[in-house]
Structure 1
Amino acid sequence: MPPENPPHPTTDRLDDDDYPAYTMGRAAEMIGTTPGFLRAIGEARLITPLRSDGGHRRYSRYQLRIAARARELVDSGTPIEAACRIVILEDQLDEARKLNEEMRRQRGGAEESAAS
């Protein structure tokens, strides 16, 4: 039996951290910076906004979190290029930790199965 209220594609996008929902102006406002800062971290290749059909930059929530972290570093005196590199390394470290934890869980589950 099909679900009574199938998910609406637009609603699904609102929950998607990677959906480019925010214009440059709105994104800058949300993280308390300027569009120029967003362009600068784009030029430094920290984030690459998607483009609308009209060619306007669009940002996702995930990109805004990264941009906000870069802004914190720049506000504390870190040069923008260094801030971008730090954020990239922090993101890579976080991903490596998640993978490591997942591998430990899988290995633990395999060890429990072998012991049974």
Structure 2
Amino acid sequence: DYPAYTMGRAAEMLGTTQGFLRAIGDARLITPLRSAGGHRRYSRYQLRIAARARELVDQGTPVEAACRIVVLEDQLEEAQRINAEHRRASTGPGCC
């Protein structure tokens, strides 16, 4: 989660533009940290999220909608993880 990548390097790694990274930042999908000089810095986790948004945009989804989809996918994954934990706890040793 360390913000090691500059905006230019992040855009290069994703095969996108700095404008795209600014757009998903404006849509609040990711919030890059700022260096002492005020430059945006991205973590690997943020780059994974940005890559998923880029996939959707490349398929024709508007940026704002792509960002919302990525957020909803993340929420669904978290809910499924929590449900799996509850199922394991309720069917564990000593239960029922």
Task: Please name the residue that 1:93 is paired with.
Answer: 76
| TM, length-normalised to structure 2 | 0.94
Larger Rg belongs to: 1
Structure 1: where are the runs of 5+ without partners? Answer: 1-17
Q: Distance in 2 between matches of 1:54 and 1:75?
A: 32
Structure 2: where are the runs of 5+ without partners? Answer: none
* Count of aligned pairs between the two proteins: 96
1:65 aligned to which of 29, 33, 48? 48
Q: Distance in 2 between matches of 1:21 and 1:44?
A: 22
Instruction: Give aligned-pair identity as a percent.
Output: 79
Q: Distance in 2 between matches of 1:102 and 1:53?
A: 41
- 2:13 is paired with a residue whose SS is helix
Q: Distance in 1 between matches of 2:3 and 2:55?
A: 22
- 1:101 is paired with a residue whose SS is helix
Show structure 1 runs of 4+ deviating over 2 A: none
Q: Which has the higher contact order (CA 8 A, sep 6+)?
A: 2
Task: Please name the residue that 1:78 is paired with.
Answer: 61
| TM, length-normalised to structure 1 | 0.78
Q: Distance in 1 between matches of 2:54 and 2:9?
A: 16
Amino acid at match of 1:47: I
Amino acid at match of 2:24: I
Task: Please name the residue that 2:32 is paired with.
Answer: 49
The alpha-carbon deviation at position 82 of structure 1 amounts to: 0.5
Q: Distance in 1 between matches of 2:58 and 2:24?
A: 14
- 1:113 is paired with a residue whose SS is coil
